[in-house]
Structure 1
Amino acid sequence: MEVSALIHTEIQKKWIAKFETVKETFKSHAEYNDLHSRFPYENIEWLVNEGYTLLTLPKAYGGEGATIEDMVILQSYLGAIDGATALSIGWHLSVVGQLFEQKMWQPEMLNAFAEAVCQGALVNRAVSEAETGSPTRGGRPATNAVKLNDGFKLNGVKTFTSMSKGLTHFIVSAYYDEIDQIGFFLIDKDTPGIEIADNWDMVGMRATESHDLILNDVHVPQENFVEIRGAGGKKPNGWILHIPSVYLGIAQAARDYAVEFAQTYSPNSIDGTIGDLPTVQQNIGKMESLLLSARHFLWSTAALYVEKKVKTPVWNETSASKVLVMNQGLEVIDIAMRIVGAKSLEMERPLQRYYRDMRAGLHNPPMEDMAYTNIAHSVLGHF
């Protein structure tokens, strides 16, 4: 079955058609941005101007009201065009989708923030810290919030703040000693005391500019204390599927490159192209099968969130989607590089970037060991 046959909503058709108009432009930026660790400003500006940042905002708030399934499919397509752009904007889409679906803030704050999103605001959570590792492991942040008469004062350093220089708002986690809880604070980028460290220098996802966010005596109004971690009970978050969606797209891009190479590369040692060789055909068949498996599992998991008849929370499928897509996607890229051979390591070819970007996905939540452990607890009836 062709991937296009799985596209069925008007939102999906609309945005895939739009992506086609800028695909080559986005791709042309990718190599330079990767080499220079430069954020894809032009790509993100286009997405904002076209209204893609309103995708997961409900229609009642002025957004497009896309479902989790819509987001997963569109992010997969965008990830195949440029992984760093897709992962960056995906954090915003995910945060907005979860906030409004689960009504995580007070109505007044949701209304105000929806207005900001409609005017082009970009948001991400700033939760990781060097001392705690991944926030999904439950460590208490060193970033602290001190109560003042007119709000709070925050100090701390957040790592892995993706899209840091492009964001208009940060949702920062901090330990609030007075209630012995971890709270979340909505902070505007122009608030005094906010600083971007400019220290992102990684092998993979270089263009996301996920610099450290430094908070020096940052004053936050009382009403911007928007959440307490764990309040209201833990719920499955299907919006986090934006992560495997991007990496599925990167694996698809590697597959596409290897197939085109196999169809056109013709060394003088053989008749025809390498695509005529049985060993290459075996690799292409395996690569395609891995992609089919990953795509159908991920997209069907997203569809479960849309299916109103499903009563069982989609915990295990969500965790397994990320693990399965990452592991099979890595294998797809490895096979693609074997097909292309030593040329796959040439810096002017995108395969080496796909490989590096894909490795970065291993360190996005949920971590593999945590996913397997939580699935095991579910199977064993520990919850």
Structure 2
Amino acid sequence: MALRLSLAAARRPVVAAPRVAAASTGAVRGHAVAVDPTPASSSSSSLASDAQSGVRHNWKRAEVQAIYDGPLMETIFRAASVHRLHHDASRIQLCTLMNIKTGGCTEDCKYCSQSSSYKTETKASRLVAIEPVLEAARKAKANGSTRFCMGAAWRDLAGKKSGFEKILKMVSEVRAMDMEVCTTLGMLSPDQAKRLKEAGLSAYNHNLDTSREFYPEVITTRSYDDRLSTIDAVRNAGISVCSGGILGLGEKAEDRVGLIWEVSHMPEHPESFPVNTLVPIEGTPLEGNDPVPVQTVLRTIATARIVLPKSIIRLAAGRHTFSETEQAMAFMAGANAIFTGETMLTTPCTGWDADKAMLDRWGLRGMRSFEDKESVEVPGEAKAEAAVSA
């Protein structure tokens, strides 16, 4: 019996992801380091470098659709293998999101409780003062979050000069805490993006939400190309792009594929790709939408991981509706970031203690900040290599 087992083991293929060496820019596996992307003037050399590392910008939509439609377990296995080529699979980036200006937005996004177009329980408020924001950032850092995100319910920054100055101060002060800083403030001009970069902004969130084809069914006050223009301004300013979508808007599978395909053709893939699931809010046009099946979330995450191998895939809004086991499957499929903390804009968020306990049960750890000089060795890897060499 022992001999039979030994022979079976010998025939079983061993799959091992090669170690990823640090790049010349100082990037190392397991770090959220893509916070200062290559300037636009160097885009050709960046694309060449991407090609050498297996990152593609020429995906055909049919190719992405074939990945999405494949057998789910096989797709997750493939995504997990790709994930290990580019990331430390034991690390999850912990991000905290604070709403610094609630409600009163002139956009008509059909999913959003902060739109002035709909009657919801969310009440409009003024921009939060600086000190409460800094206190929230300190608390987030003390609880293990390495990225602090600030969201304001605005269409754009037109007529908000004093508010923008206050936000620049917030960005500067949070960056001084050795935290990564992200904002989402609506549409930006190139000059506004440049000023945010100078203040120390690490990343800017501007979701495409869905495919170009389905987008007009969800939003009419801002075009798809408006969103892409802001993303271009952010990238050209040297700020990392955070851009993903929302599942459960009434879209079809080809729209989820269209979203992933769209961002895959950007000059640089987004540093992070949030996968949100709709939290239906009473008073919005989408209040009656059905919950998103976990299989849909897993297919989307796994497909995004394969097509966007170096991007951070963030399991974002709606995560609280999935069980711990379902979230672990998402991590297996390639998700490596979550929002954690007291609240998430106007929807629920799992708290730090619960999330840290969950990660501990699955052998996962928080990702280091880009400022952190902690060793990047994977636990047990050095010992295993020493044993092999001995």
Q: Verify same fold: TM over 0.5.
A: no
Structure number with the bigger relative contact order (C-alpha 8 A, sep ≥ 6) is 2
> What TM-score do the two structures reach when normalised by structure 1?
0.27
User: TM-score, normalising length from structure 2?
Assistant: 0.27
